[in-house]
Structure 1
Amino acid sequence: MGTKMESLILAQPNSPLQYPIQGFVVAPLAKSVIPGKTLSFTVKKGVLSVEDVLDGDQVEGQGQSNLTISSSSRTHLNDLLSRVTYTSTIYHVKTKDLGNVSTTLFVHYRSSVPVLYDPGTGKTTILVTITTKTFLRYDELNILINSIRQFYPKIKIIIADDSLETQNVTGYNLEHYIMPPAQGWFAGRNLAISQVTTKYILWVDDDYIFNNNTRIESFVEIMEKVPELDVVSKILESFPFLTLSSLVTFHQPLPNFKDCFLVDGVVNNFLGRTGTVRRAGFDPYLKRVGHSEFFMDGLGQLLVASCKGLSIGQQRHREYSDYTVKNYAGGCYNLSESVIFYLSILVIK
């Protein structure tokens, strides 16, 4: 008695499946004609071919176990299907082969609108906004602003401020956003970055200072040449945060940039693409110590590089007043959630 595999079943090539491989855009709830026709054949114990292939015939895998034929014309595809041959490559009187015919459809239901930026002259000023968060450190903040203006007189500065008693901060092309008191570092980051309209964000803490080696334009140049790169910062020589040490392990050099290396995280000043930095986000639950958490959330989302060539100095620490010490390092920013975060990282590791 014969088996089902011995019964000949023919699928006539007059009704081929019609699906594109990729690039088919469909508006939601709208009808669209599917363009293109592609079929793939796979066998295990033989090879496939299309006889009498002509110039212009779209055939891949001639004489192999995987064959793909495609055409924008149904008539042409039917003709190709009628010339597909199977050649056995195994001699065995009872050997059977099972062939598969498949097609793949990738449908993109709605294309996104590209974000456009002003490509005008003065690239650094046009493309970059400097953002920072401050709490009770107005002296340091003013030093930072003055140093920025020394080297970049027209660049935009955005400040998020959750001080208990706020002071007025003004200046050219400067925005000062007052928050409810003691909302925290990441809440401030979210606010400041939400107001950025340029292609790139340069994040700095309020106790940093620009110097002669601060060359934002060198990092803008890297980001412009490597469109898939999301964040870039300086080479980290020491590890100020417990969990950051593992995040800045050099994986491999950034192609075409010998002084740059791909890492998972960088230091507390960095240039980032506005869109991808926003998508990674900042969890406002972490009020004080959260820099590492941002890059932990960005694992698998952000392509990060650490490079030589950008130096943003840190101001010398001064003696704070009892009021500042009490409210900054004391009760306003509860450290418990940050301690729990770091302990959880240690457990994971």
Structure 2
Amino acid sequence: IAKDQYEELVKRRAKDLQQYKTRMVSAELSRLLFASPNSPLQYPIQGYIVQPLTSTLIPGLGLHAENRSSYKVSLSVSKGILTTNITPEQTIIKGSGKNKLIIESRSLVTLNNLLAKVSYTSTDYHINTGDLATFQFEMHEAVFPIAIKQPRVPVLYEMGTDISSQVTITTKTFQRYRHLRVLLDSIRQFYSDVKIIIADDSFETEHITGENIQHYIMPPAQGWFAGRNLAVSQVTTKYFLWVDDDFMFTKKTKIENLVEVMEAMPELDVVGGSVKGNQFYFALIYEEGDEIEGGCLYRKSGGKFQTLPGYPQCSMTNGVVNFFLARTDAVQRVGFDPKLQRTAHSEFFMDGLGTLLVATCGDVSIDHQLTTSENKSPLYNKFRYPGQGDVEFKLKLHFYKNHLKCIKYG
């Protein structure tokens, strides 16, 4: 990055980081809270979730104190109001309908009955935020979180019993029609009805036809990730299988096995296989760093974590090879950065770190075709091997977009 541009770029990056944190992280719900020892206060410590602008009882509020002539507690919030509609005899209630509620009673039983009927209502509409409630009695104070969330409407995919209603095969091609046709023939040898989506940004296009084949022609040389975005945007099934245009299906390319793993563990978003027996999985080790300099990311080849329960051939990891089954809606949420036009793969998993749950399975394999004259053409190689300029561009992109000061591959 040029010295005369660096200072201004860092300022803009810092501003964008704050906006990102505002969108992604609730300051209230990320605050570190401590429970006081030997406190007489009882309150919810996790799981109290309310809908925005909706009155909701606060569960579990209570006071466990020794005998006194009178008991007085207060409850305060900052993003909502507290209400109770009952005022028994010998009880004083102040602040109902406001952000601080005070209840005083001579009876501990009556006080606890009132606390069981206290409701919280947020005052501003927000789909994902939080509040902190402060609960006080004499010298004792407790703080507990209130998650304010708009429930999501489920988006479900109706899955039939056959693989063609569950999975779409997607690929991106560029100047390699001979390889592409070998791939298509090999797919049809084992899966005659599965839909295939092809994103094509070749300069000289050829017409690809066939039953359940969708061939999308792009402007020339739009790039690797732009093509991925196009292909995945047209998927209507719950899952899609990503393959390179020079792969080749074999009897070991069992899509059903990958679907079984995904269905058995619904939290998974991506499951990779192996290419000619090599899984090429990797771990991503991320240190956030500070807000000024940024963080560091280490891509560790061969890094993986625990095995999947019931599937010893599969392990958790952070990134996999270019042969994977993915949950369509999960990948669409992360997307493929179209700025990465030439060489890119790990960058998708970097952008999805913390969002996508990834595994690798060694029992499902695909073959790789032999190199042909298509791979050696000057036009193809010009875009396939773009040179040092592409490397520098990606480093600048990581610096700003991913807020990194360093990235390491090993």
- TM-score of the aligned structures, taking structure 1 as reference length: 0.72
Give 5+ residue unaligned stretches, structure 2. Answer: 1-42, 68-83, 89-102, 114-137, 285-297, 399-403
Q: Residues 331 and 216 of structure 1: is their aligned pair in 2 closer, same or farther, counting only changes over 3 Å?
A: closer
Is 1:156 the equivalent of 2:195? yes
Which residue is equivalent to 2:19? none
For residue 106 of structure 1, report the CA deviation from its aligned partner: 1.6
Is 1:312 the equivalent of 2:366? yes
Which residue is equivalent to 1:121? 161
2:237 corresponds, among 180, 195, 198, to: 198
Rg larger in structure: 1
2:109 corresponds, among 79, 83, 106, to: 79
For residue 113 of structure 1, report the CA deviation from its aligned partner: 1.8
Amino acid in structure 2 at the alignment position of 1:301: T
Which residue is equivalent to 1:255? 309
For residue 270 of structure 1, report the CA deviation from its aligned partner: 0.4
For residue 256 of structure 1, report the CA deviation from its aligned partner: 2.8
The equivalences for 1:6-17 within 5 A come to none
Query: Secondary structure at the residue paired with 1:348?
Result: strand
Which residue is equivalent to 1:34? 56
Q: Size of the alignment, in residue pairs?
A: 287
C-alpha distance in structure 2 between counterparts of 1:347 and 1:82, whole Å? 55
Which residue is equivalent to 1:208? 247
CA contact under 8 A between 1:213 and 1:312: conserved in structure 2? Answer: yes
C-alpha distance in structure 1 between counterparts of 2:381 and 2:348, whole Å? 22
Which residue is equivalent to 1:237? 278
Question: What is the RMSD of the two structures over their aligned residues, measured on CA atoms?
Answer: 3.7
C-alpha distance in structure 2 between counterparts of 1:214 and 1:38, whole Å? 53
Instruction: Write out per-residue CA displacement over residues 12-67 of structure 1, whole angstroms, 9 at most, x where no aligned residue.
Output: xxxxx9999534223xxxx53323444267xxxxxx5699xxxxxxxxxxxxxxxx
Query: Secondary structure at the residue paired with 1:224?
Result: helix
More strand by share: 2
C-alpha distance in structure 1 between counterparts of 2:322 and 2:250, whole Å? 17
Query: Secondary structure at the residue paired with 2:240?
Result: strand
Amino acid in structure 1 at the alignment position of 2:54: S
Which residue is equivalent to 2:151? 111
Amino acid in structure 1 at the alignment position of 2:407: I
1:139 corresponds, among 160, 164, 178, to: 178
C-alpha distance in structure 1 between counterparts of 2:315 and 2:224, whole Å? 28
For residue 328 of structure 1, report the CA deviation from its aligned partner: 1.1
Instruction: Write out per-residue CA displacement over residues 77-122 of structure 1, whole angstroms, 9 at most, x where no aligned residue.
Output: 9736459xxxxxxxxxxxxx931144532221x3222112122221
CA contact under 8 A between 1:290 and 1:338: conserved in structure 2? Answer: no
Is 1:25 the equivalent of 2:43? no
C-alpha distance in structure 2 between counterparts of 1:239 and 1:137, whole Å? 23
- Structure 1 vs Structure 2: percent identity of aligned residues? 46
Amino acid in structure 1 at the alignment position of 2:307: P
Instruction: Write out per-residue CA displacement over residues 211-257 of structure 1, whole angstroms, 9 at most, x where no aligned residue.
Output: 0111000010000010111111125737599x997154012212332
CA contact under 8 A between 1:203 and 1:270: conserved in structure 2? Answer: yes
Which residue is equivalent to 1:228? 267
C-alpha distance in structure 1 between counterparts of 2:304 and 2:44, whole Å? 47
Q: Residues 248 and 126 of structure 1: is their aligned pair in 2 closer, same or farther, counting only changes over 3 Å?
A: farther
C-alpha distance in structure 2 between counterparts of 1:119 and 1:221, whole Å? 13
CA contact under 8 A between 1:39 and 1:103: conserved in structure 2? Answer: no
Give 5+ residue unaligned stretches, structure 1. Answer: 1-16, 42-47, 52-71, 84-96
Q: Residues 19 and 332 of structure 1: is their aligned pair in 2 closer, same or farther, counting only changes over 3 Å?
A: closer
Q: Residues 100 and 163 of structure 1: is their aligned pair in 2 closer, same or farther, counting only changes over 3 Å?
A: same
Q: Residues 315 and 245 of structure 1: is their aligned pair in 2 closer, same or farther, counting only changes over 3 Å?
A: farther
Amino acid in structure 1 at the alignment position of 2:109: D
C-alpha distance in structure 2 between counterparts of 1:136 and 1:37, whole Å? 63
Which residue is equivalent to 2:407? 348
CA contact under 8 A between 1:126 and 1:198: conserved in structure 2? Answer: yes
C-alpha distance in structure 2 between counterparts of 1:105 and 1:245, whole Å? 37
C-alpha distance in structure 1 between counterparts of 2:211 and 2:362, whole Å? 30
C-alpha distance in structure 2 between counterparts of 1:117 and 1:254, whole Å? 24
CA contact under 8 A between 1:247 and 1:266: conserved in structure 2? Answer: no
2:221 corresponds, among 182, 185, 193, to: 182
